[in-house]
Structure 1
Amino acid sequence: MKQAFIILIRALAAIAVIGTVIPLFSSEEWYVRVFDFPRLQLFFLAVISLVLFYFFDYQHRKRGKLLLFTLVTVVVYQSINIYPYTILSPVQTEQTERDLSDTTHLSILVSNVLMTNTAYSHLIEMVNSYEPDVLLALESDSAWQEGLKEVTKAYPYRVEVPLPNTYGMHLYSKLPLRQKKVSYILDDEIPSIKTYMQLRSGAWIEFRGVHPKPPVPTEEEHSRKRDAEIIIVGREVADSKYPVVVAGDFNDVAWSPTTRLFQEVSQLLDPRVGRGFFSTYHAHYPMFRWPLDHIFHSNHFKLVEMKRLKGINSDHFPIFVTLSYEPDEKYEQVAPAPDEDTHEEAVETIQEGVEEAQKEGKQPDTLTTK
């Protein structure tokens, strides 16, 4: 019995160490990039295996000392990765001090609905309860478009892209929209939305809705196109003359190298930083949750509130954010600064994604990679 317990401790330690080391390799293969996701889980696994090893299996020999040191290193490394998304970290988006009824506020509800889910009433109830200015539904097909009619009639401005491939996208807005454009950046089956939205104050902002494919065997064998699409959007909004909001299911976690590069390139802020993980996937398995659904914004905005909402029978929880447009105070907030390698990494990431799309016979609808 004791020997079995020792084997279990060592197995847990091995998983924690291997799961930490694998994503350090600069490979885009799905079996490498998937380990970007469970940072929080690997942290707790390393802590548990460290404690168990120290009290039940540690021997003052070279091998024991090496494993102890390795586990401590894993705990420290994973702590560094997840620290920004704890309440111990300084916030990236400042809390607004303006009145809740301020006309500069913009509320957004993002929900990956799960195309096969037919419990439309759950999302309808949520929209009626929170009354967001903007509803972005992902994985929405024609059935979802019809199923939400009861509530979306209150949203006169819309971009509807119903698709049967789990990458449909519906944008509903109570605020005026102009220059509505649906782009298929690297894949003619994966849409993204670009539009301009007028706040109640009269100011116009740029809004982007995204949902690239994840690096999993059933979708993509590697992350090249996902990474490239995210960075392409980041480069485009970096050149915008307007305040910017980018929202959607990135199929990537907040602490991954790609999302960090996206922030450096786009100079957008993450209201999650310093406030919590707000893990939206997987809604049905508490032990396996990570933040895949995001709302990033330029420094023209401060935060009113951010919530992960209750489940709607989807594999994702919806996320709700209210921002306050305060351009006069934008210099109070600083986005992650690009370093000397940022441009080179961005160009390389985009080039690899474009080449992969071309190899698959796609016609990328994207900008130059210079």
Structure 2
Amino acid sequence: MPQTTSYGKRTLKTRLLNILSILTRALAVVAIIGTVVPLFPFEEWFVRVFDFPRLQLFCLALGSFILYLTLYYQHRKRGKFFLLLLAVVVIYQAINIYPYTMLAEVQTKQTERDPADTTQLSIMVSNVLMTNTKYSKLMGKVEDYQPDILLLLESDSVWQHALQPLMAHYPYRIEIPLHNTYGMHLYSKLPLRQKRVNYLLSKEIPSIKTYVQLRSGDWVELRGVHPKPPVPTEDGNSRKRDAEIILVGEDVSDSKYPVVVAGDFNDVAWSATTKLFQEVSGLLDPRIGRGFYSTFNANYPLLRWPLDHVFHSTHFKLVEMQRLSGIGSDHFPIYIKLSYEPDEKYEQTAPKADEGTQEEATETITEGIEEAKSTEQPATGTK
């Protein structure tokens, strides 16, 4: 009888090890495929979607490497090759996410000025989720943080009406209530001028261009963006999204003013498109050297990545930046306070374009315009 029990335990242990080995190899294959696929120069959604989970793929590859080495690896050529692939994946993904860890050097320097300085500008960006009805949660955040600028995305006329109690504090507004999940509202305590609503590639997708007057009297160019994501229910590829992002980058690169670009890019901070945007625009990313600030998806802790962004010119330094708690949306709000310090702008190094940057930018924009023409009547213009 004891022998049978011992044999049963050994059999159970063997089965568990076999299951764990199969699971380990399956996860490893997912990590390898998820790393290799986005290396191909295709814009289809099922390729570009793998740009998003860099951190998750890194964890998968690292965990698989450790488990495979511990439980399954044997001194065979096939085993060594598999481990080598996993090691390459771990290193490659680590390189991608490293800038957004506290181990990296910050791109935006921390200000040393007084917190009450009149040149500071605070901004809250929130994709509210159009169907979300927890209006009081957002209003609570606004009351707590008192941002100078409140930029809302996916906001419709219902949201516009629900936020009326806040309007006494935000006399300057740009309101674009839409029921297609691409509405946009910009509320400001500070004066605005040249309030423009642009439709860069689609008559359904607005973006905002305006100028904000700081309490010091200085004017800052502010852009609000929210392009379509590359998912089957929205766009089958990323061409229009990429083109819209780069179009904004090219436009602000010629600005004579300090610049802030904010919104839901539907693209992650480490993607090739976002990097190209930074090179074209010369804007800084305050997350670099500080953290991921992953704002989406608020409902799934293991599947989160940074989709909501605030970029700025070298005229600014950072006072503080936070990812706020949930408001019932699938996005967390993000809050940032910047200090306008133009005399010290040369202390910060802006991303620089290389020889192929302009060619790549032009190609990206051309592909996006062609895609817009083939799928809908493009609406380039302002309102």
Task: Tell me which of 296, 302, 320 is aligned to 1:281.
Answer: 296
2:327 matched residue in structure 1? 312
Please name the residue that 1:153 is paired with: 168
Alpha-carbon separation, structure 2, partners of 1:214 and 1:152: 31
Q: Tell me which amino acid in the other structure corresponds to 2:293.
A: F
Structure 1 match to 2:7 = none
**Partner Cα distance (2:318, 2:249) in 1:** 21
Work out the CA distance in 2 between the residues paired with 1:321 and 1:283.
Answer: 19
- Show structure 1 runs of 5+ residues with no match: none
Corresponding residue of 1:329: 344
- Matched with 1:252 is 267
1:48 match: 63
Aligned residues of 1:123 and 1:312 also touching (Cα < 8 A): yes
Query: Structure 1: which 4+ aligned runs deviate by more than 6 Å?
Result: none
Q: Does 1:15 align with 2:2?
A: no
Equivalent residue, structure 2, for 1:233: 248
In the alignment, the residues of structure 1 paired with residue 211 and residue 116 of structure 2 have an alpha-carbon distance, to the nearest angstrom, of 23
Contact 2:139/2:163 (8 A) holds in 1: yes
The residue aligned with 2:317 is 302
1: CA distance, partners of 2:143 / 2:19: 54
What amino acid is aligned across from residue 169 of structure 1 in structure 2?
M
Report matched runs for 1:131-150 at 5 Å. Answer: 131-150=146-165
Mapped partners of 1:361, 1:32: distance in 2: 23
- C-alpha distance in structure 2 between counterparts of 1:5 and 1:274, whole Å: 36
For the 8 Å contact 1:186–1:366, the answer to whether it is kept is no
What is aligned with 1:126? 141
Q: 1:264 aligns with which of 271, 279, 289?
A: 279
Q: Which one has the largest radius of gyration?
A: 2
CA deviation string 1:235-264 (max 9, x = no partner): 000000100000000000000000000000
TM-superposition CA deviations, 1:311-338 (whole Å, max 9, x none): 0000000000000000000001112211
- 1:114-169 deviation per Cα after TM superposition (whole angstroms, max 9, x unaligned): 00001100000000000000000000000000011111321000100000000000
Query: CA separation in 2, counterparts of 1:205 and 1:137?
Result: 19
Q: Is the 8 A contact 1:357 1:364 kept in 2?
A: no
Q: Is the 8 A contact 1:358 1:364 kept in 2?
A: no
Which residue matches 1:117?
132
Shift of 1:364: 4.1
Is 1:354–1:364's contact at 8 Å kept on the other side of the alignment?
no
Aligned to 1:85, which of 89, 96, 100?
A: 100
- For the residue of structure 1 that corresponds to 2:169, the secondary structure is coil
- Residues 22 and 32 of structure 1 are in contact (CA less than 8 Å); yes or no, is this contact kept in structure 2? yes
Matches within 5 A, 1:146-225: 146-225=161-240
d(CA) in 1 for partners of 2:373 and 2:25?
45
Letter in 2 for 1:326: E
Secondary structure at the residue paired with 1:237?
helix
1:34 alignment partner, SS class: helix
Using the alignment, how far apart are the partners of 1:21 and 1:314 within structure 2?
32
SS at match of 2:151: strand
Which residue of 265, 273, 292 maps to 2:307?
292
Aligned to 1:78, what secondary structure does the other structure show? Answer: helix
Q: Deviations over 1:43-62 (max 9, x none)?
A: 00000000000001111111
Q: What residue number does 1:70 align with? A: 85
User: By how many angstroms is 1:6 displaced?
Assistant: 1.1
Q: Deviations over 1:152-210 (max 9, x none)?
A: 32100010000000000000000100000001100100000000110011100100000
2:52 alignment partner, one of 5, 14, 37:
37
Task: Measure how far apart 1:220 and its partner are.
Answer: 0.4
3-state SS of paired residue (1:153): helix
Cα RMSD of the aligned pairs, angstroms, is: 0.9
CA–CA distance in structure 1, aligned partners of residues 21 and 87 of structure 2: 19
The structure 1 residue matched to 2:43, chosen from 10, 25, 28, is 28
TM-score normalised by L of structure 2: 0.95
Q: Residue type of the partner of 2:342?
A: P
CA distance in 1, matches of 2:133, 2:51: 31
AA in 1 matched with 2:22: I
3-state SS, counterpart of residue 19 of structure 2? helix
* Structure 2: distance between partners of 1:131 and 1:250: 24
Structure 2 counterpart of 1:206, one-letter code: E
1:352 paired to 2:361 = no
1:98 maps to which residue?
Answer: 113
| CA distance in structure 2 between the aligned counterparts of 1:25 and 1:152, rounded to whole angstroms | 48
- Asked whether the 8 Å contact 2:202–2:376 carries over to 1, the reply is no
